Structure 1
Amino acid sequence: MREVKTSIKSIQETISLCLEHNLTFAAYRLPNNDKSELIVQKQYAPRPIEDLTNITVLNGFLVAPFVSSSENPMFLIQPDYHFKGEVSVNDFEEIGNINHLAKESTEQELPYEVSKDEYLVQIDKIVNSIKNNELQKVVLSRAKIVENNLAGHIPELLSNLCDRFANAFIYVFSAPGKLWVGATPEPFAFLNNDIFHTSSVAGTKENQDKYRSIENWGSKEKLEQQYVSDYINSVLNANHWENIKHHGPYVKKAGNLLHLRTDFTSNSGPTNGNLGHLISNLHPTPAVCGFPKKEALQMISDVEKHNREYYSGFLGPVGMGQPVTLFVNLRCMKIVGANIVLYSGGGLTIDSHPVDEWYETEIKASTLLSVIQDIC
C-alpha cells in the first residue's frame, strides 16, 4: 500500500527535528494561550544584541542574562521560520535540510552545587549584613543538579508544562552551547497598544487556603514585595513615564506556589523616555537581585558560587505580533548532556529564617522536577 504523507506536522515534531539537526530555535506558549509557537533560525549563531535602545524594531526571540558578559551575552533568535500551532510538510522538509551537526559546541561544565549546610551559612552572612544596615534585601539562588537524560523527551516535556501551567510562559530555546527550558510565572515587560505593563512579584508561600488571603501573609513577604514595587515605581518616574497606575498587592497563584503581586501600567507616548532604556534600568529588579541594587549585586557576586547565566534574566518574543512580551526567566533549567541544572532562589530580608529559605528553594525547584519525573 502506498504511504499517504500528511500535509501537516506538529510543533513537537518540528522541535525534535531542530534538536536532531542542532538548529538554533525557540518554542514558546504564551500564558492562557492554547497554541505554541516556534521560531527557527537558518544560521547557527544568533544575533548579538549590545543594548535595547531599538527594542521596538527587533523581531524574534530575545534572551538576556542576569548579568551580561562575553560568556553570557544578550542575543536574538531570528525568525527565518515562524509557526503557530502547526507546520506544513514543505517547511518541515526545508528545515530538515538545514544541518549544523558539524558545529557542535565544546563540552560544558556543570555549575557548583551548594549543599544545604553551605546555603544556610550563606543566608546567615547575608542576613547579618542586612541587620548591620548594609542592605535591605538580597536574592540568593542555588543550582540543583539532577542526573537525567532528557534527550528525546523535550517536546513531551514542553507539552506537559503547557498542560500543567496554563498561566505560565512556557519555553525552550536552543542556541550554540545553550539549551534551556522554563515555565515562568513572572511577567517582566509588555508593550501593547502603546501601554507599558510590568509587575512586581515577590514573596512566596505554598498553595494553601489560608494564604490565598493577603491578610494571612507575614511582614517578611509583604516587605519583600514592597521593595520591588517601590523600585519599579521609582524607575518609571526616573525614566519620565507618565500616568502610572498600579493594582495590588494581591495574591497570585503560580503552579504549586502563591506569590504577592502588584501590576503597573503606563501610557507610552512622545514625552516618555526610551522603552529600551526603561527595560535596561528595570533589570534586575529587587525581585531577582535585591535592594539597593548595586550593593545587592556585589553581595550576590561575593556569596554565590555558581554563575546564574540566563537564570533570573529575561526572555520572550519581540516584534512578533506584539512589540514587546518579556518574562523573567524563573522556574527554569539548563540541560547539560545527561544532566539537568535546576535554578531557584529566594529573597532574604531581616526577618528571614535560613531553614525556611532552603525549603522555599526546594519547593520552587520541584515545579519542573515533578514534570520531569512524570516523563523519565
Structure 2
Amino acid sequence: MREVDAPASSASDMPFALVSNAETIVGKGCLGFVPSGREMPGGGTLGERVNVYFAGHPAGPRLVVGALPYDKAAPAHLFQPAELSRSPGRACFAAAFPPPALVGAPRPALRWQVMAEPTLPAYREAVARALETMAESGEALRKVVLSRSLRLAADQPIDASALLRALAADERVAAFCVPLASSEGPRVLIGATPELLVARQGEVVTSHPLAGSARRAREPRADRAAADALLGSDKDQREHREVVTAILDQLAPHCVELGAPKGTEITATASMWHLGTRIVGRLRRPETSVADLAGLLHPTPAVCGTPRERAARVIEDLEGYDRGFYAGAVGWVDAAGDGAWHVAIRCAEVAGRQARLYAGAGIVPGSDPVAEGEETSAKFAALLHALGIDETGRRAAEDVA
C-alpha cells in the first residue's frame, strides 16, 4: 500500500458511498481519521482504535467509514464524514449522484490503452506453479487465491461518478466508492461487490461468503446450465467449503449461536454465478464491535487461501504486485459497534486518467490454469462493461453502433 499522509484523502471531491438494497450510506467531507496501530501504544485492535477516536471526537456523525487494505499489516483508511446521509434501499444514492443534465454536446467516447499485469499467459503459469506448490505440500496448503490486474489509461479524465452509477445499476451487488489518501491528486476505490464479509446489528452477526464462480450466459438455457454445472462442481464445492469452514471456526468463539440455516446456495450478479452460504450468529459479548470481527475474519480464504499465512506467502511470491485495497474490505462502523463490511472485489483504483482493475480466482487441487484465467476475465466484465470497453480497450460490442 502507498505510504502517504491520511489527510491527503480530502483532496478527492467524491464522497464515500456504500449502496445496497438493504441500505445506502453517503458520507461527505472529513472530520478526522481513526488512528493506525502505529499511532496507539500497544497498537490496539481495530475496534479499540475506533472507540478511542469516538472518545476524542464527540461532535459529528457517530460513524466512521472507509477501507481496510488486503495486507493486515498495512494501515487502515477510516475517517469520520462531516455530513452523512442514510436511507433504506438506494434513495439517497440517487440524490447524491444524479446523472448529468442532457444539455450541450455529448462527451466523446474515451480512447483507452490497456496493459495486463501479469499477462494472461503469465497468470496461467502462476496458477500452474501454485498447483505444483500445493501438490508438494500434501495437505499443508489447500487453497491459494491468485489475482491479476489491468492498468488502464484514457485520453481524458475518467468520470468516477458515471462509473459508480453504472456499477450501482446491478441491484444484486453492493456498489461502493471510497476516497483514498493521495499526494498526487484525487484517487478513489470504486467497485461492486457481491460478498458480505461481516455485519453486526445489536447481538446479531451475519456473513455471506462467496467462493466458486462461473460466467453467466446471455441465452437463458445456457445461463441455467452454467448455474447447474457450478452447483455440481466438486472443485468449486471444495473451494467454497474452505471459506465457510474458516469463517465458522473464527466466529465460533465469539458466538453463543452460529450456523448456516440455508446451506450453500447459488447466487448471481449481472455477469457471474457464485456459490454462497449465509452465516448467522448471536454474539456472546454485546461489546464485540463489527470492526473487531472484520479484523478477525479478513482476509478470508475467498481472497487469500488456506492456511492463511502460507497462502499469503505464495501470493506474494507469484503475483508480483501490491494489492493495495483490492481484496480488503469497505464499510462502516458506528459508536455502538454496529456496521457492515464488504469484501473489496470487482473493484478499481481510479485517479485522473488512470485506472487499475483487479480480479482473482481460487486455486485448489484440480484447478485448470486456462479455466482460472477465463474466470478472471469474466470477473473483469462488470467494471469493463461499466466503462464501455473490453479487455483489450476496444469499445464493447454492444456499445458499437
1:157 to 163, 166, 189: 163
Distance in 2, Cα, partners of 1:151 & 1:270? 48
Q: Does 1:30 align with 2:19?
A: yes
Q: Measured at CA, do residues 120 and 214 of structure 1 come closer, stay the same or move farther in structure 2, by a change above 3 Å?
A: closer
Distance in 1, Cα, partners of 2:69 & 2:205? 22
Corresponding residue for residue 175 of structure 1: 180
Aligned-residue offset at 1:258: 0.6
Distance in 1, Cα, partners of 2:312 & 2:79? 28
Corresponding residue for residue 107 of structure 2: none
Corresponding residue for residue 53 of structure 1: 47
1:245 to 254, 259, 266: 259
1:131 to 109, 114, 135: 135
Task: Give the alignment's TM-score, normalised by structure 2.
Answer: 0.74
Q: Does 1:146 align with 2:152?
A: yes
Letter in 1 for 2:194: P
Q: Map 1:289-328 to 2 at 5 A.
A: 289-319=304-334, 323-328=338-343
Q: Measured at CA, do residues 302 and 152 of structure 1 come closer, stay the same or move farther in structure 2, by a change above 3 Å?
A: closer
Aligned-residue offset at 1:255: 2.1
Aligned-residue offset at 1:73: 1.7
Distance in 2, Cα, partners of 1:369 & 1:152? 13
1:75 to 55, 66, 77: 77
Secondary structure of 1:121's counterpart equals: helix
Secondary structure of 2:209's counterpart equals: strand
Q: 5+ residue gaps in structure 1?
A: 1-18, 88-109
Secondary structure of 1:351's counterpart equals: coil
Distance in 1, Cα, partners of 2:290 & 2:231? 37
State percent identity of aligned pairs: 22
Letter in 2 for 1:174: P
Letter in 2 for 1:114: P
Distance in 1, Cα, partners of 2:311 & 2:155? 35
Letter in 1 for 2:153: E
2:198 to 173, 189, 199: 189
Aligned-residue offset at 1:180: 1.2
Q: Map 1:335-350 to 2 at 5 A.
A: 335-350=350-365
- Between 343-352 and 213-222, the greater mean CA deviation after superposition: 213-222
1:62 touches 1:318 (CA, 8 Å); kept in 2?
no
Per-residue displacement from partner, 1:1-40 (whole Å, max 9, x unpaired)? xxxxxxxxxxxxxxxxxx9x82476432432158562332
Q: Measured at CA, do residues 285 and 34 of structure 1 come closer, stay the same or move farther in structure 2, by a change above 3 Å?
A: closer
Distance in 1, Cα, partners of 2:152 & 2:22? 30
Corresponding residue for residue 359 of structure 1: 374
Distance in 1, Cα, partners of 2:340 & 2:84? 16
1:116 to 115, 120, 139: 120
CA RMSD, 1 decimal: 3.0
1:62 touches 1:76 (CA, 8 Å); kept in 2?
yes
Task: Give the alignment's TM-score, normalised by structure 1.
Answer: 0.79
Q: Map 1:263-282 to 2 at 5 A.
A: 263-270=278-285, 276-282=291-297
Question: What is the number of equivalent residue pairs in this alignment?
Answer: 330
Corresponding residue for residue 62 of structure 1: 66
Letter in 2 for 1:147: A
2:258 touches 2:281 (CA, 8 Å); kept in 1?
yes
Distance in 1, Cα, partners of 2:23 & 2:201? 20
Letter in 2 for 1:244: L
Aligned-residue offset at 1:320: 8.4
Corresponding residue for residue 171 of structure 2: 166
